[in-house]
Structure 1
Amino acid sequence: MRRIVFACVVLGLTLTPAAAFKKLEGYFIAEQACEAYQSKNRQTNPGNVLTSPRIAYDIKGINKQGGDYFQIQVDDAPVTQLRWVSTSCGVHVMDAGTVTVDPVVDTGITPVTGGQESTDNLLTLSWQPAFCEIRPGKQECQDLNSGNLPHTTRQLSIHGLWPQPKGNDYCGVSASVRNLDKPGNWHLLPAPEIDTETADALAASMPGFASFLHYHEWIKHGTCYFGDGGADEYYDDTLYLTGLVNDSAVGDLFFNNVGRQVSGAQIRAAFDDAFGVGTGARVLIKCTNDGGRTLINEIWLSLKGQITPTSDLGELMLAANETGMGCTDGLIDPTGLQ
């Protein structure tokens, strides 16, 4: 591979119909840091190898005509130097010396007329160190495990705010944009229209911001929220509710028990203490398994009622239906791969 001034002639992929691997010549120019998989199906990545922007890699082929993964050679990769990388991560070129063409993206979202602001929602919050045990190659996880996101070990992080019932998503979103909504392609999605203040707050409260999670959450869930203020209101409301949780006994419970086992009953009791008796019964606890350890990964809060900048979180929760506890016991994972 060789470093280049970012200019190259893009080779249009005019492949004939085929069902199997298609050999290609030339180079793959990475436009961003993306995972380089040993197995694209299992998404295994020995060494947590990432492509480097503005680097040319020898290209070997594409998984099939119109496929979604290039096979490239990463000279210093452990286990195998042949790696799979998403086609959305960069471009295939014949000559690594001239001009690039940016991908064309459908930027249109047609607002659904007459939609009423969602009053039935799930607020989903993550414990980021647990998530990063499973996806250590993601940019936000590399940052976290390198000690660059210390605040994520002191608070729950935003996953999303999901209008209910389940399946109420992609409102007014074209099929072409929906087809782009895959983790490796989130940077290609239309950007949510949010102001600088909201973007700065999200970058701190949603570590997945580094992987364009906020693009995905807006496209899939936010478009069905129907707040008058669009994406900015959707994320301001999410930030407001998340702040209430983190500034309460619930946030204290997580922060004070890093590295310890915590029961679902303890988490629910913390909600009862902070937001009123019965709110804990509206909290679903999600866990993940990591090498035999059970890690508390997320908490899901059921909410009913319109969310405003002065909403009482306890009232919103008590208006919702009770839910099962889910995970009954798990570890509050510390930062770093365990």
Structure 2
Amino acid sequence: MKAPLAALLTGLFGLWSSFSTWAEPAQGSFIASQRCEAFQSIRKQSNPDDLKLEPGRRYEVVEVNKRDYDWLRIRIPGSATPLRWVSADCGSAEGIAFNTGKPAAFGESAGACNVPDQHDGYVLAATWQPGFCEHARYNGKKPECEGLDSGELQISHLTLHGLWPNRRSCGKDYGHCAGPEMKLSGDTLAYVRPWMPNFRYGTSFGRYQWDKHGVCQTQMDDDAYFRRAADLVRQLDQSAAGQYIVANIGGAISKRAFYERVEQDFGSRDAQNNFLLICSGKYLQEVRVSLPRALKQADNLVGVVDGQFAESRARDRSECSSDRILIEAGGR
């Protein structure tokens, strides 16, 4: 009995070790040699549609679980959830190259929560501005809230709080990296202003977002970063879930119905794990969306997420707790 038990413990330790580091973006090919299962999640071994590799077929590699990988994430055309994890033993990899600005390997830059390009994804934070201004606690004057209150400013769509590079091992502490100062062009300010209303009155909040979050990635300069963030919040607002919020201004939405619309948009229940609703009391304050590290150019959020669904929903003490969520209208 001792030998099987030792083998089991060794196997479990190896399995735990393979989950202790975070996936790393990569490029290359994987040629299947066996008809292995293609999993949506390594940890859960989930494969709801019983998708399997076709021996002899070449697949695009988009991610590996670590540098000395034993799992690869590949793209399987024709599937509703095309990005799947497969064991390296199921075939052979060719031309694997890792992205520049890579996440730190296990044991390298341990605890580096203020070093650029160590993120493993992004969080898009989109504010429901009337709900924030009326019910959230904030320090100092918010001119956009004063504008809403007076009727000078009319907002009937989600707005940009921030686009945050995120490193899971750091929790909420990844930020304040070294980087250049924000110097947005006039064209960029005009482009972003409708989606980040604080920019109508100044750039202090935008500068705060750049200094805390934007500089922790180097793939985009400040102009490209804020333009992309504005595009993403617009795509969220125009999605079925976003328009469900807009259609109920002054009323209420159902949290369950919101997530059902997310599932319909993305064609997968797992997509719900990428979304988080934040409330102040009973009122919607923010929608957060987990996005992959490689922000693909796409016409909608479905294309940006590209089937890269989180294994579980993020946790936050301000998550909306009840099914009925009130949608505040601007003004008095």
The TM-score, its normalising length taken from structure 1, stands at: 0.54
Change in CA separation of 1:297 and 1:115 when aligned onto 2, cut-off 3 Å = closer
Task: Map 1:114-153 to 2 at 5 A.
Answer: 115-116=116-117, 118-133=119-134, 134=136, 137-150=141-154, 152-153=155-156
Contact 1:237 1:309 in 2 (8 A): no
Matches within 5 A, 1:256-271: 256-271=247-262
1:305 equivalent among 276, 293, 305:
293
Q: What's the offset of the Cα at 1:197?
A: 2.3
Residue 201 of structure 1 corresponds to which residue in structure 2? 191
State the match for 2:176 in structure 1: 170
Report matched runs for 1:133-282 at 5 Å.
133=134, 134=136, 137-150=141-154, 152-153=155-156, 155-165=157-167, 166-172=172-178, 192-209=182-199, 210=201, 212-227=204-219, 229-277=220-268, 278-282=270-274
The aligned residue for residue 333 of structure 1 is: 328
- Give the CA deviation at 1:221: 0.2
Q: Is the 8 A contact 1:283 1:301 kept in 2?
A: yes
- In structure 2, C-alpha distance between the alignment counterparts of 1:216 and 1:115, rounded to whole Å: 16
Cα distance change of structure 1 residues 117 and 206 upon mapping to structure 2, 3 Å threshold: farther
- Look up the SS of the partner of 2:193 in the other structure: helix
Q: Which residue of 1 aligns with 2:308?
A: 319
1:241, 1:313 within 8 Å by CA — same for their partners in 2?
Answer: yes
Taking a change above 3 Å as real, the CA distance of residues 239 and 275 of structure 1, as seen in their structure-2 partners, is: farther
Q: Deviations over 1:80-104 (max 9, x none)?
A: xxxxxxxxxxxxxxxxxxxxxxxxx
List runs of 5+ in structure 2 lacking aligned partners.
1-114
User: How many equivalent pairs are there?
Assistant: 203
Tell me if structure 1 keeps the 8 A contact 2:133–2:145. Answer: yes
Question: Which whole-Å CA distance do the structure 1 matches of 2:184 and 2:267 have between them?
Answer: 33
Deviation at 1:201, TM superposition (A): 2.1
Per-residue CA deviation, residues 98-152 of structure 1 (Å, 9 max, x unaligned), is xxxxxxxxxxxxxxxx9548550100001000111145952111111222222x2
Cα displacement (A) at 1:320: 3.9
Judged with a 3 Å threshold, the aligned counterparts in structure 2 of structure 1 residues 117 and 230 are, in CA distance, closer, same or farther, namely farther
Q: Which runs of 4+ in 1 moved over 6 A?
A: none
Q: Where do 1:12-91 residues align within 5 Å?
A: none
Identity level (%)? 26
- Letter of the 1:123 partner, please give it: L
3-state SS of 1:204 partner: coil
Say if 1:237 and 1:307, in contact at 8 Å, map to a contact too: no
Cα distance, 1:311 vs structure 2: 6.9
Distance 2:195 2:118 in 1: 24
CA RMSD across the alignment: 2.8
The verdict on how the C-alpha distance between 1:196 and 1:273 changes in structure 2, with shifts beyond 3 A counting, is farther
**Secondary structure of 1:158's match?**
strand
- Is the contact between residue 159 and residue 206 of structure 1 (CA under 8 Å) also seen in structure 2? yes
Q: Which amino acid in structure 2 is aligned with residue 121 of structure 1?
A: Y
**What displacement does 1:269 show?**
1.8
For structure 1, the 5+ residue unaligned runs are 1-113, 174-189
Tell me, what secondary structure is at the counterpart of 1:149? Answer: coil
SS at match of 2:331: coil
Q: Give the C-alpha shift of residue 316 in structure 1.
A: 4.5
Name the CA distance, whole Å, in 2 between partners of 1:115 and 1:171.
Answer: 6
Q: Which amino acid aligns with 2:285?
A: N
Write the letter of the residue equivalent to 1:198: T
Q: 1:334 to 1:123 in 2, by over 3 A?
A: same
CA contact (8 A) 2:116 2:177 kept: no
Contact 2:274 2:290 (C-alpha < 8 Å) held by counterparts: yes
- Relative distance call for 1:203 and 1:304 in structure 2 (3 A) is same
Under a length normalisation based on structure 2, what TM-score does the superposition of the two structures give? Answer: 0.55
Contact 1:122 1:164 in 2 (8 A): yes
Cα distance in 1 for partners of 2:118, 2:299 equals 15
